């Protein structure tokens, strides 16, 4: 947008432009700008259009204005004036009509001629208006049903059996693989092949046999050397590990239960730009994950026999949920006057800027602020 600091207007922006609500949280702005608005942009338009013009007999950037005007052409100048005038006026129109716009508008010039008013329309997505449900009551109900993170004796025993079964299968595979390797080294290719073919059968047969007794000697073979010395020590360590895992799983599911319940009670129509933004973020995350595994997006998509368009269609429901959730959390934060801790915002922003030297400081701060605001809002919902 153009700088509005040293520019005054004699326009009633609200009266000069009308609004029409369109489907999918869009509005269409229609109106006219007096020619005086375009005229005030003429010098800047000529300078912008002429900055790279090179004409015989003149130094670049020093072509006299009358010569430049003739070379550029009046309609080109008028079009540049119109573009600048619209960009200059657009923020004023949004402010006058209290439009919370998202992204860039689609501009259509409907009338343009020298010495005449400029007619145009601007179609833009807006933050959807919606009514928050009784989020506190919903969260309280979900909080009351939050499952315990305690590990039961049955869960512990099941995990022990899983570990024993996996260890026995691994030991058998190692034993048979070594035997096959020895036979291969001795030139017994047929025996080696036969041994490897028997591996699966023997592992399957092992699974049907009783598991070994859990003794102090046996648990010493589990985990890292010296990690476990007694059966009780093994069980206590395993229970602590399972409780930490279960606590994370329960916490994640509980948050999802709260947000899903609130989203289900909230009616809103999302603009496509918000859905597309979430899908783009999902692609960026996927690309980052693949890069860490030394994989390329195109190769991965070819492997799973899907296109980006296929993935976008599959991800659309999740993208809609993510977009709705962000809008809801923003509104709950406003409604309850929740704000992120300023010191924490500064600290995390500095940490990220240390890691990503070329990152835009403003964008990083916005990202950190949003993440911390979401976290603070979720903690509030978990404790109402």
pLDDT digits (tens, 9 = 90+) for 104-120: 999 999 999 999 999 99
For residue 2, what pLDDT is reported?
41
Tens digit of pLDDT for each residue in 179-236? 767 766 766 666 656 666 666 666 667 667 788 899 999 999 988 888 999 999 999 9
Binning pLDDT at 50, 70 and 90, where does residue 131 land?
very high
First to last CA, the chain: 43
CA 295/CA 168 separation, integer angstroms: 34
Binning pLDDT at 50, 70 and 90, where does residue 22 land?
very high
Q: Say whether 247-383 and 13-126 share the same fold.
A: no
Phi-psi label, residue 216: left if phi above 0, alpha if psi -120 to 50, beta otherwise? alpha
Instruction: Evaluate whether the domain defined by 13-126 bears CATH number 3.30.70.1050.
Output: yes
Tens digit of pLDDT for each residue in 136-158? 999 999 999 999 999 999 999 99
User: Percentage of the chain surpassing pLDDT 90?
Assistant: 74
CA 220/CA 243 separation, integer angstroms: 22
Domain locations in the chain? 13-126, 247-383
Superfamily of domain 247-383: Trigger factor, C-terminal domain (1.10.3120.10)
Tens digit of pLDDT for each residue in 263-301? 999 999 999 999 999 999 999 999 999 999 999 999 999
For residue 24, what pLDDT is reported?
87
For residue 199, what pLDDT is reported?
63
Average model confidence (pLDDT) across the chain: 90
CA distances from 127 to 18, 167, 204 (A): 18, 55, 58
């Amino acid at each position: 947008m153009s700088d509005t600091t040293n520019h005054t207007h004699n326009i009633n922006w609200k009266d000069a432009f009308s609004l029409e609500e369109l489907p999918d949280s869009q509005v269409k702005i229609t109106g006219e700008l007096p020619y005086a608005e375009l005229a005030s942009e003429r010098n800047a338009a000529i300078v912008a259009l002429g900055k790279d013009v090179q004409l015989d007999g003149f130094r670049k950037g020093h072509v006299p204005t009358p010569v430049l005007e003739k070379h550029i052409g009046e309609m080109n100048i008028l079009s540049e004036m119109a573009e600048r005038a619209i960009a200059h006026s657009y923020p004023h129109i949004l402010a006058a009509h209290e439009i919370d716009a998202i992204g860039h508008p689609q501009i259509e010039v409907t009338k343009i001629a020298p010495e005449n008013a400029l007619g145009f329309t601007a179609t833009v997505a807006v933050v959807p208006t919606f009514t928050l449900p009784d989020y506190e009551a919903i969260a309280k109900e979900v909080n009351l049903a939050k499952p315990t993170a305690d590990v039961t004796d049955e869960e512990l025993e099941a995990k022990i059996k899983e570990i024993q079964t996996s260890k026995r299968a691994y030991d058998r595979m190692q034993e048979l693989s070594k035997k096959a390797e020895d036979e291969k080294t001795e030139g017994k290719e047929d025996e080696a092949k036969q041994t490897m073919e028997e591996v699966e059968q023997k592992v399957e047969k092992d699974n049907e046999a009783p598991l070994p007794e859990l003794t102090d000697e046996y648990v010493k073979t589990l985990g890292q050397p010296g990690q476990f010395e007694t059966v009780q020590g093994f069980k206590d360590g395993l229970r602590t590990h399972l409780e930490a895992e279960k606590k994370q799983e329960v916490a994640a599911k509980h948050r999802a239960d709260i947000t899903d319940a609130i989203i289900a009670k909230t009616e809103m129509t999302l603009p496509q730009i918000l859905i597309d933004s979430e899908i783009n973020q999902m692609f960026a995350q996927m690309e980052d994950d693949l890069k860490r595994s030394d994989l390329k997006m195109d190769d991965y998509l070819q492997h799973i026999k899907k296109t980006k368009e296929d993935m976008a269609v599959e991800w659309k429901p999740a993208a809609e949920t993510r977009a709705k959730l962000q809008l809801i959390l923003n509104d709950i934060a406003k409604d309850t006057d929740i704000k992120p801790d300023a010191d924490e915002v500064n600290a995390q922003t500095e940490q990220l800027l240390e890691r990503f030297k070329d990152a835009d400081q403003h964008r990083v701060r916005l990202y950190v602020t949003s993440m911390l605001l979401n976290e603070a809002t979720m903690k509030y919902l978990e404790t109402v």
